[in-house]
Structure 1
Amino acid sequence: MSKTPEIRIDESFRKIGGFVTYSSAKGIRNSKGSLDVNLELKGISGDPDSLKENPVVRCYRDFYWKIGIDPTKTRPSGEALRRRVLRGLPFPRINDLVDVGNVVSARTLIPIGIYDMRFIEFPLALTTSKGDVFFGIGKGEEEGKPLPDGTPVMKDFTGKVVHIFPHRDSRVTSVRDDTSEALIVGAGVKGVPPQEVKNAVDEVTSYIEKFLFGKRAMDTVVLQ
């Protein structure tokens, strides 16, 4: 095991049409209020009811159907965040590092995961679940829930599930207020250009450097 950021992909995951781009940042000073979320979201416009026709949104919706999730009930994260902006609803605020990921996801429609590297043993693996337990961030998920076999996941070297691809992160590796070193992952699916997913990750690292005093720690990797 290692602390050097590395993600690997196995055939069971590759077959479902998922991929990731990833980078990392260090020296982050996470806080609350350093990022003017409303200013950064300014310029996003459009009709929320026609958002489902966006080509990127359609790719994620198609992927959701493929893995057994109804996207009309559980929307892809980028779509859900963009929809909140277009409807004038309050944007979720957690802390500046999490907010950066959500802002970029709303702007690009690409799902972004940010993880505290203190709690990850590399390499990570993109694979499908088999007898795994997931500890979600939501209320009532502290005890963990068994995952159906075949669920697309990202696991660390010790076997803990870091992420259910491409829509849910684990509390075990989630960003804390004192997170200073983070892994940034963009989740891509069939039909979404890898360059767009890479650009989203690069945008997150740029925000971290601009607002959170952090520094990019590695070039962004595209893993297909």
Structure 2
Amino acid sequence: MITILNEVKSLGVFVAYDVVYGVDNTRYTSQLEEEINRIVEEIRGALSLETLKDHHIIRAYRDFYWKTLKIDPTKQRPAQEALLRRVLRGESLPRINPVVDAGNAISIKYIVPIGLYDISKIHGKTLRIRLSRKGEVFHPIGGQPHELDDQIVLASNDQILHVYPYRDSVETKIDVSTKDVLIVVAGVPGVEEERLINATLHLRRLLSLLGGVADGDVRLA
């Protein structure tokens, strides 16, 4: 389902991805709540706000922002770092809906950015990670539509799902009506494939608590 074009693969971009069908995203289960709370407490015991920036995985994503994306990661933080900082300050994880909350919990546990997409809203079955084309417009969650300029994107033929590896589109966002979910865990140089695979498998298990059933093995691209 996902291929990475050579123009982007040369930058060290890679992903693990999975498809989970049949989730019930209308209500939280006690098991899911317990798992999310357990992960939050585990993270608070394992990491500290003062040393987070020196963690080798955080460092890898920050370096990718600086060197490849030309983004200052202290101003536009990697998504998982922003969530971790919130938790380590004693705040709760944001509560949006069960699927997204499960994704956020796994994101902080494995320190990787996770994109979640409603399959029913995706145009077509083939997705590519590539550079954006002149004139393409992105519709971010929580932001205004804007034209992209030579950025790494996850896209179908006529739809931008994600600006890599930090912002998702409102067009394919997860909501309470979502049944079938595409999981994409974004990798950068210095992050091992096994971490992405384990994060994907763990999220698959959490979504099974919402009735979700995975489609085959976790795939890498």
Give yes or no for TM over 0.5.
yes
The superposition leaves residues 112-143 of structure 1 with CA deviations (integer Å, 9 ceiling, x where unpaired) of 0110000111210000011211001114x2xx
The code of the aligned residue for 1:86 comes to L
Residue 163 (str. 1) matches residue 162 (str. 2): yes
Q: Matched residues in 2 for 1:8 and 1:222: separation?
A: 9
Partner of residue 141 from structure 2, selected from 137, 148, 151: 137
Residue 87 of structure 2 is matched in structure 1 by 85
CA contact (8 A) 1:25 1:218 kept: no
Residue 184 of structure 1 is matched in structure 2 by 183
Cα deviation for residue 218 of structure 1 reads 2.3
Residue 114 of structure 2 is matched in structure 1 by 112
Cα deviation for residue 105 of structure 1 reads 0.3
Residue 10 of structure 1 is matched in structure 2 by 5
Residue 123 (str. 1) matches residue 126 (str. 2): yes
Residue 56 (str. 1) matches residue 70 (str. 2): no
3-state DSSP of counterpart to 1:21: strand
Select between 82-91 and 114-123 the one with higher mean Cα deviation.
Answer: 82-91
| TM-score normalised over the length of structure 1 | 0.91
Residue 3 of structure 1 is matched in structure 2 by none
CA contact (8 A) 1:111 1:166 kept: yes
Residue 28 (str. 1) matches residue 23 (str. 2): yes
The superposition leaves residues 52-99 of structure 1 with CA deviations (integer Å, 9 ceiling, x where unpaired) of 110110000000012111101111111111111111013211000000
CA contact (8 A) 1:152 1:164 kept: yes
| TM-score normalised over the length of structure 2 | 0.92
> Which structure 1 segments of 5+ residues have no match?
1-5
CA contact (8 A) 1:152 1:165 kept: yes
Cα deviation for residue 32 of structure 1 reads 3.9
RMSD between superposed Cα atoms in Å:
1.2
The superposition leaves residues 141-161 of structure 1 with CA deviations (integer Å, 9 ceiling, x where unpaired) of 2xx21011x2000101x3210
3-state DSSP of counterpart to 2:53: helix
3-state DSSP of counterpart to 1:166: coil
3-state DSSP of counterpart to 2:17: strand
3-state DSSP of counterpart to 2:42: coil
Report which of the two has the higher share of helix.
2
The code of the aligned residue for 2:163 comes to I
Which ranges of 4 or more aligned residues in structure 1 deviate by more than 6 Å?
none
Q: Matched residues in 2 for 1:32 and 1:107: separation?
A: 23
Select between 188-197 and 10-19 the one with higher mean Cα deviation.
Answer: 10-19
The code of the aligned residue for 1:54 comes to H
Same amino acid, percent of matched pairs: 37
